[in-house]
Amino acid sequence: MLNILAKVIALFNSQPDITKMGFLSSFFVTTPDSFTDAEFCDLDEIYEGEEVAPTVTDLSTGAVTLVEDKFVNKQIPFPVYALRSPAQIAALMNRQPGESAYVTQKINWLARLATILVRKMGRMTRMLRRSMELQAAQVLQTGDIILTDEKGRQTFKLGLTPKASHFPTVTTPWRDLNATATPGHDHTPLDDMDAVADIVRDDGLVDISIAIFGDQAWKDFIKNDWIRENLKKDVLNMGALSPQIVNLGGKRMGYIDYGSYRYLLFTYNARYNPFGNIEEKIKFLDPNKVILLPELSDLDFRRIFGGIPTVRTDTTFDQIFGVDKTQIGGEYDIRPRVFWSDDNETFIAEIKSRPLMLPVSVNRYACITTA
């Protein structure tokens, strides 16, 4: 009976994506240029507008001279994540998760140590994935990324300063809007979304087509009779989205046509613990916010990684964890390291990574606060 239970727990532990998390960071893509050895990322922005060409009187008239495009350069440092976890030699005597409580054969101590280190590395990598999701969540909801250290002091600020008009607050909370109101005639959530989508159209030259709702914002949105009646739930449009979005916590709720826009509607309810506080759960997407995005092909959101110098003195675990930075599924770039400390006879597992969720197309998205 005990062995069966142990196996069940081990199987549960091996599920890679039980948290259904990563929906927001999935909009930030990696390219071959994403993995760098750089300290800073240079971002050049060119603003061109949507001008049409004027005519001139006749062929003898000179051509109309165009002024230089507006050009802005920003230099952004990469944030630094570094985690470590010790594994004492003495702790090898303790039963590990998933193991039988009864020792029936001779133990391979190095294999046991490797198992412990792999588990520690796995936990640290998952923490890193959640931090990347938090970066994505912050930048999509506020236009900025502010990261803090373990004591809550600010260590990083993206500072892209996107247009404030892309992050409006509603004048009337959605929960207080009349449920029988009709879009276009009265004030409904769709009118607010439409007004903000028009701003993005003007500034970013793209049409909004994806709306990701926080939990409460969705409840207030579908409270409206007209919206409920016109919400289409068929899944024929699924091909419009990259398959990578599936299974990361985002739930497709259907689509709705209004004005010039067709909104694919999603909800996202994943959450995380702040560092050092496993009691508190915070949702990546504020329950009262709605993120508006254009089609993925119109987005240039990058997942890029800064450089980490590597000098190896202990090569014991190189075969297991690699000798340099490790890319996981082409999505993550971490530098794992295991080193020996004579204090208390301890091996220390460490990972470092410098991921940055960079919304290059900074004027092509918006977020509404609906409360």
Q: Which residues bind another protein (CB under 8 A)?
A: 164-173, 176, 187, 191-192, 194-196, 198-199, 368
- Site of tokens 């046991």: 112
For the bound state, the minimum distance from the C-beta of residue 169 to another protein, rounded and expressed in Å, comes to: 6
Smaller CB separation from another protein, 185 or 233: 185
For the bound state, the minimum distance from the C-beta of residue 192 to another protein, rounded and expressed in Å, comes to: 5
Closest CA to 356 of 108, 107, 119, 134: 134
Smaller CB separation from another protein, 186 or 280: 186
Contacts of 57 (CB under 8 A, 6+ apart): none
For residue 282 the two structure tokens come to 């915070």
- Site of tokens 């050049």: 44
For the bound state, the minimum distance from the C-beta of residue 163 to another protein, rounded and expressed in Å, comes to: 8
**Beta strand 208-213 with 154-157: parallel, antiparallel or unpaired?**
unpaired
Smaller CB separation from another protein, 114 or 368: 368
Edge-to-edge strand list for the sheet holding 289-294: 250-258, 261-268, 208-213, 289-294, 366-369
Smaller CB separation from another protein, 147 or 199: 199
For the bound state, the minimum distance from the C-beta of residue 368 to another protein, rounded and expressed in Å, comes to: 6
For the bound state, the minimum distance from the C-beta of residue 56 to another protein, rounded and expressed in Å, comes to: 36
Q: Which residues pair with 305 in a beta bridge?
A: 35, 355
Smaller CB separation from another protein, 2 or 164: 164
Angle at 250 between CA 273 and CA 215, to 5 degrees: 70
Closest CA to 350 of 40, 41, 124: 124
Smaller CB separation from another protein, 131 or 141: 141
For the bound state, the minimum distance from the C-beta of residue 288 to another protein, rounded and expressed in Å, comes to: 14
